Amino acid sequence: MALRLTILGSSSSGNCALLCTESCKVLVDAGFSARRIGEMLAAAGHSLDEIDAIFLTHEHGDHCTGISGLARWPGVKLFANRGTAEAVQRSLRHRPDWQVFETGTRFRFRDLEVESFSIPHDAIEPVGFVFAQGAGDLLSPRRSVAFVTDLGYAPELVRQRIRDVDVLVLEANHDLRLLQQDTRRPWSVKQRISGRHGHLSNEAARDLMASVDRPAWRHVCLAHLSRDCNSPSAVEAAFACFRQPGLAFALSIVPPDAGGPVFDLP
């Protein structure tokens, strides 16, 4: 096992993924209660006792709400940039083992190489991540995963960072028609969701993928679906063009109320 990715859960209600290498097990976001994360890990054959670190993309509850319940695991390192760390800390009664990085830098955690990059979202300092493992030679091929959720549009920087990864976890948050028809959200919230610092619609995510020239993707995982304003069938219809025979990558969809697939990158 060089790199294994398990999507524990991803939707507008909560996001958490597990990355495993030979030397570490880390979570990307912790948007469920600590108890629920423990249950998800148990279903995947792991436990919170095994987690070495958590990497936070930003401070919104659907990405960090579980941090408060992780006081029982003081050995877990918590990686975030300064803006995110300060915002999350204000809501906590304990002080985690913060590992503060500067957005845009590249650093290592055990055998993982981690790169963060800025994304446009209505949070204090939101980031996407690229996680890579391996030296890039015959004995240790380089494998990589990108997480790009919670962004209103995709600037050129995002296109550059996601182009060469093996697995891309990409937001497909809402269907424009379903969002417009939704009766639970006021107009102002709909404007925020569909704005340039909100979330990618199915169509915007599809257009982003289509705009990347000669991507190295082996698999694209569409995530962060809204339970009310999207559906797996709507995503499937929007991305039908990527189901054609001969494409170099596979496509999967994470339903809002279920865990996602497991990706093994040997």
Residues 6+ apart with CB under 8 A from 45: none
For 80-97, write each residue's pLDDT tens digit.
999 999 999 999 999 999
Separation of alpha carbons 70 and 34, rounded Å: 6
Q: Which residue has the higher pLDDT, 3 or 245?
A: 3
User: CA–CA distance from 218 to each of 9, 73, 163 (Å)?
Assistant: 21, 35, 11
- pLDDT value at position 135? 84
Q: 97-113 in b/e burial notation, b at 16+ Cβ within 10 A?
A: ebeebebeeeeebebbe
Q: Which residue has the higher pLDDT, 5 or 137?
A: 5
For 209-247, write each residue's pLDDT tens digit.
999 999 999 999 999 999 999 999 999 999 999 998 888
- pLDDT value at position 246? 80
Q: Which tokens belong to 195?
A: 């704005």
**Helix or strand run (H / E) with residue 181:** helix 176-181
Residues 174, 193: contact at Cβ < 8 Å?
A: yes
- Banded pLDDT at 1 (limits 50, 70, 90): low
| Domains, the chain, with CATH or none | 3-260 (3.60.15.10)
- pLDDT value at position 2? 86
Q: Which position has the token pair 């990715």?
A: 5
Flag whether pLDDT at 260 surpasses 90.
Answer: no
For 27-82, write each residue's pLDDT tens digit.
999 999 999 999 999 999 999 999 999 999 999 999 999 999 999 999 999 999 99
For 166-221, write each residue's pLDDT tens digit.
999 999 999 999 999 999 999 999 999 999 999 999 999 999 999 999 999 999 99
